[in-house]
Structure 1
Amino acid sequence: MNEAQLLRYSRHIFLNEIDLDGQEKLQHAKVMVIGCGGLGNACIPILAGAGIGDLILCDHDVIELSNLQRQFAFTPLDIHRSKADVLVDYLQLRNSELRITSCSQKITAQLLDQYLPECDVVVDCTDNSATRHLINQACVQHQVPLVSASAIQFSGQLMVFDARLADSPCYACLFPLMQQEDKSCSQNGVFSALVHQVGAAQAAEVLKLIIGFGEPSVGKMVQFETLNFATHQWQLTKNPCCPVCG
């Protein structure tokens, strides 16, 4: 680590739980973030600022005017551009040393099979159950930890799954593989502060998993309620009959 890097990351290095060894783990880590919307806009800049050396950003969507209420990496000049491409530009202006890959394609099993074998953590910032199940299946198959979250109206959820652990549940243990009706922000609304609260929590879980400090929320569901600023936790158990991880 050179002198400029020591200065840039000094506030992390001063923390005993991170120190120089932890910061170097971040620099050598590769993280795939799927979804560059509200949660992604909150989570990804924190990961980049913390010094994750390799980031893969996946989103096939383009920027719309309604995104600007909560997706602060974008400006009106970016409307109709790829969210993943714009986020790469935004981050590399702030830290040109990072290796950031833009994947402006709809996520598929083939894409996940291509990227996941090299990843340390996957972050699910998507907004529909079919994609979440696809990501979950790939993470179980490739034994990659998954940090999953959702946000709608004034409520958010955060879950961490780690297929490397025998007792860790997976997303399909909680939400069976069946047709589900997704609630969308476009129809139901979402509080802008909520996505940043939940996205920041996702970033924190990623850093903890990579460095190995604190207690990652594996096997837990954390519920965020912004109307009364409350959080609730539930312990999750593995389903022995789960068709994905059972």
Structure 2
Amino acid sequence: MNELQLERYSRQILLPNFDIEGQQKLMNARVMVIGLGGLGNIASCYLAAAGVGHLTLVDDDVVELSNLARQVLYKQDDVGVAKAQAAKTQIAQMNDEVAVEVLLERLDEASLAQRVTAYDLVLDCTDNFKIRQIVNKLCHQHKINLVSGAAIRWEGQVQSFLFAEHSKICYQCLYPNLNDTNLNCSQSGIISPVVGSIGVLQSLDAIKILSGCGRVQHAKLRVFDGFDGIWRDINLTQDPECVICT
């Protein structure tokens, strides 16, 4: 680690149990962020700022005017630009030491299976349930840690699955029958700080997992009611009929 890096990350390095070793682990880490909407916006910003060495940003969508109220990484001039590419541009201005790869496509199971093993951790920031199922399946299969978030209206939730250590309980256990006909932001609305709150927590869990500093509990569902300002923690249990982890 050079002198500029020591200065850039000095406040993190000062933390007990984190130190240079934790920072070096972040700098050596490879993270895939799937979905560059509101969640992926915030999470990727914090991961880049914290010094995660390699980010792969996956999204096949373009920036729309209606995105700007909650997807704060984008600027007005980005409307019409591919989200992942616009995010890469902004991240480069934030921390040019982070290697950023963009995939301007919606990955199917075959293409994701070819790529996912190259990463230490996956952030599920998508609003597509079919993709969530595929990501969960492949992360469980290849023992890759997964941090999943979601937000709608005034509510949000985040859960981390430490598949590198645990084989029981996965995202499929939580939502075995959910499908893409369910609620989405374009139909039901969303208040932007709720998205930000969940994205921040995703990045925090990711940083703790990657650095080995701090406690992250496998399969704990954290639910946020932004309207009333209430958090609830729920310990998930394994679905005995889960097709992924039983």
Q: What's the TM-score once normalised by structure 2's chain length?
A: 0.96
Structure 1 pair 223–179 and aligned structure 2 pair: CA distance change class (3 A): closer
Q: Deviations over 1:62-92 (max 9, x none)?
A: 0000000011111121111100000001101
Tell me the residue number matched to 1:71.
71
Percent identity for Structure 1 against Structure 2: 38
Match of 2:26, SS state, is helix
**How far has the Cα of 1:93 moved from its partner?**
1.4
2: CA distance between counterparts of 1:63 and 1:168?
38
2: CA distance between counterparts of 1:197 and 1:77?
25
1: CA distance between counterparts of 2:130 and 2:32?
18
1:114 is the counterpart of 2:118: no
2: CA distance between counterparts of 1:215 and 1:15?
14
Match of 1:69, SS state, is coil
Tell me the residue number matched to 1:91.
91
Contact 2:116–2:139 under 8 Å retained in 1 = yes
2: CA distance between counterparts of 1:178 and 1:198?
20
Tell me the residue number matched to 2:127.
127
2: CA distance between counterparts of 1:97 and 1:206?
19
1:53 is the counterpart of 2:53: yes
Q: What's the TM-score once normalised by structure 1's chain length?
A: 0.96
Question: What are the within-5 Å matches in structure 2 for residues 1-246 of structure 1?
Answer: 1-166=1-166, 168-177=168-177, 179=179, 181-246=181-246
**How far has the Cα of 1:162 moved from its partner?**
2.1
Structure 1 pair 167–137 and aligned structure 2 pair: CA distance change class (3 A): closer
Letter of the aligned partner of 2:216 in structure 1? Answer: P
2: CA distance between counterparts of 1:166 and 1:226?
31
Count residues in correspondence: 246
Letter of the aligned partner of 1:203 in structure 2? Answer: S
Moved more, 110-119 or 205-214: 110-119
Letter of the aligned partner of 2:52 in structure 1? Answer: I
**How far has the Cα of 1:180 moved from its partner?**
5.2
Match of 1:101, SS state, is strand
Moved more, 129-138 or 55-64: 129-138
Letter of the aligned partner of 2:9 in structure 1? Answer: Y
1: CA distance between counterparts of 2:179 and 2:36?
24
**How far has the Cα of 1:168 moved from its partner?**
3.7
Contact 2:139–2:163 under 8 Å retained in 1 = yes
Match of 2:232, SS state, is strand
Moved more, 117-126 or 171-180: 171-180
Letter of the aligned partner of 2:181 in structure 1? Answer: E
Is there any run of 5+ residues in structure 1 with no aligned partner, and where?
none
Letter of the aligned partner of 1:19 in structure 2? Answer: D
Contact 2:84–2:103 under 8 Å retained in 1 = yes
Structure 1 pair 147–153 and aligned structure 2 pair: CA distance change class (3 A): same
**How far has the Cα of 1:228 moved from its partner?**
1.8
**How far has the Cα of 1:177 moved from its partner?**
4.9
**How far has the Cα of 1:227 moved from its partner?**
1.2
Moved more, 126-135 or 81-90: 126-135
Contact 2:168–2:245 under 8 Å retained in 1 = no
Match of 1:222, SS state, is strand
Contact 1:78–1:86 under 8 Å retained in 2 = yes
2: CA distance between counterparts of 1:157 and 1:168?
20
